[in-house]
Structure 1
Amino acid sequence: MSTTISPISPDFSAHHAEQFRADVVGKIVQNAVSAQGADAVSLDRDVINRLDDSTSERLDAWPVTNQKHSGRCWEFAGLNVLRARMIKELNVEDFAFSQNFVAFHDKLEKANHILVRAIETADQPLEDEDVRDVLQPIGDGGYWTQFLDLIKKYGIVPQWAMPDTESAGNTDQMNRALSTVLRRAIGSIRSTKNVDSTDVPDDVAAKQDEIRLATMADIWRILAIHLGTPPTEFSWQYRDKDKAFHTEGTMTPLEFAHKYVPANIYDYVALTHDPREEHPVGHRYVIDHTPFMEGGTPYTHVTAAIDDLKSTAIETIRSGEPVWFSCDVSQQFDRQSGIWDAQLHNYEALYGVGMSIAKADRLRLHESSATHAMALVGVDLVDGQPKRWRVENSWGDEVGTKGFFTMDDSWFEEYVFQVIVAPERLTEAQRQANTEEPIVLPHWDVF
């Protein structure tokens, strides 16, 4: 079957330029966007004016945190869920866990996972999709289950025991160094197959593991230089709101986690709204090539209707607990005012072209994906139905309402994908689905 080549003619642009010069409205829009940017011009002021930040249910009475220029949102959101419990249990004005401590061990585990996969794919050509995936730069992102695995293995510490460094909030230089060292090691691992044709498989495996261990020592050193040295123990004491002083003596990070992280949180379930027909509601899925921690827990979720995500989130908030959730953060969003609404920007009117894509097709076409994790800390209920949601972000207190954001329920419908909830809040069908053998999602799927 022959393919017809359809190049753009030389006068295509000139023809459309002539038409555009006659478009009075188009010229005005061009001037506005040139001066202010598309997002500022496309904002619907009626939407902004009707979205106040009050909610009938609200948990927060603490300041927000700041992940700065890093992709650690999932860690911040997880620690913010635990933080709310900690503030209540200790009867203190505020408390913060060390996000840096979690990030250090996350990078360590990711590096080891990459090297293990490099060994597993050493015989595959460089053009293979799995090999290309292994060669990707090491990143900051992660999942709820990954967060739990790290706490279970390494524990947690108060923020002052391992505060953020400059690199913790600006990870590019550190990630670049880590990626270079890992790619160098991957090249060495792949070359072991060709060094000596007389090598038996056990000898090759031993050489590869020797490279892995030596590289992991280098990785640890780079992490320590950028993020600091993780504490192995610390002195734990605090003063509560009633001015009573408490001292618990010296604790290790694991002892601290065992004391303050509730055991049932490790059983929490990811409910995911995936409207694609090929991924029907009521089934369990697992992401291929997870966990990112060798020996950890594969990253699974149960598909559910969007109303189920809302109802379980409402129940959780009303019980006094924030809700970890993931979403496509930059869609229909104004950062400075801290507002999300499905109709916040009228891009079709701005450009004069069709741009609407249904949620399921946005996922299929990779127009939308879970790009950010935060915590739901409030909801405004009218006759039992959610109208808007209060969100604890981790972008500092200079945006939104001192760092807290307002999400219209229409935005929840379109751009929220996952909530983490206690198993007792699931329906019987969802609990049953969570026991099923999971369906494998390829690592390149949007979830």
Structure 2
Amino acid sequence: MAFKIKKDDIKRFRADYDNRRDSHVIENAVTKNGVRNASFNWHAIQDNDPHFSIDLKTGDVADQKQSGRCWMFAALNTMRHEMQQKYNLPDDFELSQSYQFFWDKFEKANYFYENVLKTAHKATDSRKVAWLMAEPQNDGGQWDMLCALIEKYGVMPKSAMPESFNSNNSRGIDSVLNNKLRHDAVILRKMVNEDHASQDELDAKRTTMLNEVYRMLAYAFGEPSTHFDFEYRTKKANEFHRDANLTPREFFKKYIGWNLDDYVSIIQAPTADKKYHKTYTIDMLGNVVGGRQIKHLNLPMDEFKDLAIKQLKHGESVWFGSDVVKYSETKLGIMALNTYDYNALFDMDLDMTKADALDYGQSMMDHAMVLTGVDIVDGKPTKWKVENSWGNKVGHKGYFVMSDDWMDKYCYQIVINKKYLSDKQRQAQAQEPIVLKPWDPMGTLA
């Protein structure tokens, strides 16, 4: 029998509310100030002082503006940190996020067409097709997706391809591009199911579609240069340098020089379906067809944090993904579980385990940033320094403080150089990955 709310139930609820001595005081505070402000705990400021025993030197904080490129900004920031130290570059030096953005959109279009054709015989109301069409492409991504772009297209300084209106404000181009991709999906599915088109015919149509996507992106972001000059003045000596007629791949090899295969994704997912010391990938997730596969090694939190600390101790910043909106105060730059006390405000228990929050959709990775420091007390981390990509007007000139217990609860991914992995971890990372469903929370794009 269905459970219906009765008038007597509401009468008892009203009586319970009125019998609480503080109900109307709290009502006034919350209606006037909002839930977050009314539940803010000022002790969180005391507990998250922005000083760290390990604190890497980094430059000015970048600003992704009104776009979802945090994963791209964070990854390029880890690379520019090393460049700034090695070449004495100014604090405001950045690598071009717009360049990567252009090629990511272009490759995601082709990746979408690939998945459309793979699922062409499925009904439009099948979960896979519905998942594909819900958002053919967006701004988000993961570490391995940026590696795939760099391996194919290289990197350039921001001066060689600066920001545009659309890279800073991506909603408009995203809407039109997704419109086109869904329009093209109708055509491709019809060619397969009704016209029984040959592979050559499908390839020809797809090439035409990609030509149109390229034109859209060139109009929106500007067409990427194939060659450029790298010019800069050193920070201290003010010496001028010019390296002429570089390609983006030459620039990456000469000035960054990382072996991207050395950097691997570590996740922290304590759900029952993901065993520790196993690797995972996600079906239908990626950007470059034939490019680097998304691959995660799942580890317990103590090993997860130990790897991050090892890398920081050796002077290397750490790309990481988290659920940034949970218990975060943006203006003050605090990410801590005691920032907002919703339990006390509403006099109820709202806590969930990390595993339950993932399984029930309460939490998932939604933002990537960079760890640039950690405070170690008695051999244990107490708080972490975070470089965000929201400009220098939030936090401490753009840097945030993340409490260690917040990391436990809401941090899901880090990228670590394999040289810091133990033999056991390295062997586990080399395994063939288990394939997860497209909608698995570990496939969420930052």
TM-score normalised by length of structure 1: 0.94
Residue of structure 1 in register with 2:22 after alignment: 25
Aligned with residue 105 of structure 1, among 89, 103, 106: 103
SS of corresponding position for 1:135:
helix
2:207 matches 1:213: yes
Residue of structure 1 in register with 2:173 after alignment: 174
1:18 CA displacement: 4.9
Contact kept? 2:334, 2:401, Cα under 8 Å = yes
Q: 1:228-267 maps to which residues of 2 (within 5 A)?
A: 228-240=222-234, 241-267=236-262
| Percent pairwise identity | 35
2:128 matches 1:130: yes
1:400 CA displacement: 0.2
Q: Which runs of 5+ in 1 are unaligned?
A: none
Residue of structure 2 in register with 1:349 after alignment: 344
2:389 matches 1:394: yes
After superposition, give the CA deviation of every residue in 1:94-131 in whole Å (9 maximum; x if it has no partner): 22101111111111111110011111111110011111
Q: Which amino acid aligns with 1:236?
A: F
Contact kept? 1:188, 1:211, Cα under 8 Å = no
SS of corresponding position for 2:198:
helix
Q: Supply the distance in 1 between the matched residues of 2:45 and 2:193 (Cα, whole angstroms).
A: 63
SS of corresponding position for 2:6:
coil
Contact kept? 2:280, 2:295, Cα under 8 Å = yes
Aligned with residue 225 of structure 1, among 219, 223, 226: 219
Residue of structure 1 in register with 2:405 after alignment: 410
Q: 1:3-82 maps to which residues of 2 (within 5 A)?
A: 4-9=1-6, 12-13=9-10, 15-82=12-79
Q: Supply the distance in 2 between the matched residues of 1:372 and 1:417 (Cα, whole angstroms).
A: 10
Q: Tell me whether 289-298 or 386-395 shows the greater mean CA deviation.
A: 289-298
Residue of structure 2 in register with 1:309 after alignment: 304
What is the aligned residue count?
439
Contact kept? 1:185, 1:211, Cα under 8 Å = no
TM-score normalised by length of structure 2: 0.95
Q: Tell me whether 137-146 or 270-279 shows the greater mean CA deviation.
A: 270-279
1:390 CA displacement: 0.5
2:146 matches 1:151: no
2:198 matches 1:204: yes
User: Cα RMSD (Å) of the superposition?
Assistant: 1.6
Residue of structure 1 in register with 2:330 after alignment: 335
Contact kept? 2:54, 2:375, Cα under 8 Å = yes
1:22 CA displacement: 4.2
1:84 CA displacement: 0.3
Q: Which amino acid aligns with 1:103?
A: F
2:282 matches 1:283: no
Q: Tell me whether 166-175 or 181-190 shows the greater mean CA deviation.
A: 166-175
Following TM superposition, the consecutive aligned residue runs of length 4 or more in structure 1 with deviations greater than 6 angstroms are: none
Q: Tell me whether 352-361 or 20-29 shows the greater mean CA deviation.
A: 20-29
Contact kept? 1:370, 1:417, Cα under 8 Å = yes
Q: Supply the distance in 1 between the matched residues of 2:146 and 2:292 (Cα, whole angstroms).
A: 10
Q: Supply the distance in 2 between the matched residues of 1:30 and 1:208 (Cα, whole angstroms).
A: 61
1:289 to 1:195, Cα distance in 2 relative to 1, 3 A = closer
